[in-house]
Amino acid sequence: MEEAYKKIIEACGEDLTRPGLVDTPKRAAKAMQFLTRGYEQKLDEVINNALFPSDSREMVIVKDIELYSMCEHHLLPFIGRAHVAYIPNGKVLGLSKIARIVDMYARRMQIQEQLTTEIAETIQQVTEAEGVAVVIEAKHMCMMMRGVEKQNSSMKTSSMLGIFRDNQSTRSEFLSLINN
């Protein structure tokens, strides 16, 4: 990756020997590895057995989980928040693990729709919940810094599984709670 960054910097017309740039390929490679660390994570390690038996059948919502991802078309960031809900069916997931699952998929090359679906399906699979809902709102640098150059638009995506898909009032409750 370091060698690849050397080529990119040179292709931009820069001088790799100038002091400010000498260590840049190494730094950039390290940064890119961090931004794509989700590829190295394993779901079992992320969950770390933090699944607990519970009789609760009430909706659990984790709101405003900030996320930093990278669009797979331009390798530019998209930045936003995820709102996640599920209705337990015998077990609940450790609170932080929901944010960790968001990160595991966000720290990859993504499109927002796919990211939203992957988070929802993973939480469904792990918790065997009655349903899972995920909404992501994000701003895409590829639309802001370049291309169409729109600074104020944001993208909203959702994935509704199980009871959130089948039951209008459950879905409405979730949507009104995240909009408050």
Binding residues for Zn(2+): 71, 74, 142
Is residue 73 part of the contact set for Zn ion (CB under 5 A)? yes
The residue of the chain with the least Cβ separation from Zn ion equals 142
Q: What b-and-e string marks burial along 17-43, b requiring 16 or more CB atoms within 10 Å of the CB?
A: eeeeeeebbeebbeebeebbebeebee
Minimum distance of Zn ion from residue 110's CB (angstroms) = 10
Of 65 and 143, CB closest to ligand GTP: 143
Is 73 catalytic? The answer is yes
**Sign of the CA dihedral 32, 73, 158, 92?**
negative
Instruction: Quickly list DSSP for 141-162.
Output: HHHHTSTT--SS--EEEEEEEE
Say which entry of ligand GTP, Zn ion, none residue 94 contacts (CB below 5 to 8 A, set by partner kind): none
Phi and psi torsions of 44, nearest 5°: -60, -40
The yes-or-no answer on residue 12 being catalytic is no
The verdict on 142 binding Zn ion (CB under 5 A) reads yes
CA torsion sign for 20, 22, 24, 27 is negative
For residue 66, the minimal CB distance to Zn ion (Å) is 19
In whole angstroms, give the CA distance from residue 145 to residue 177: 33
Least distance from ligand GTP to the Cβ atom of residue 111, Å: 4
Binding region for ligand GTP (CB under 6 A): 71, 73, 111-113, 140, 142-143, 147-148
Which residues are tagged catalytic? 71-74, 112, 140, 142
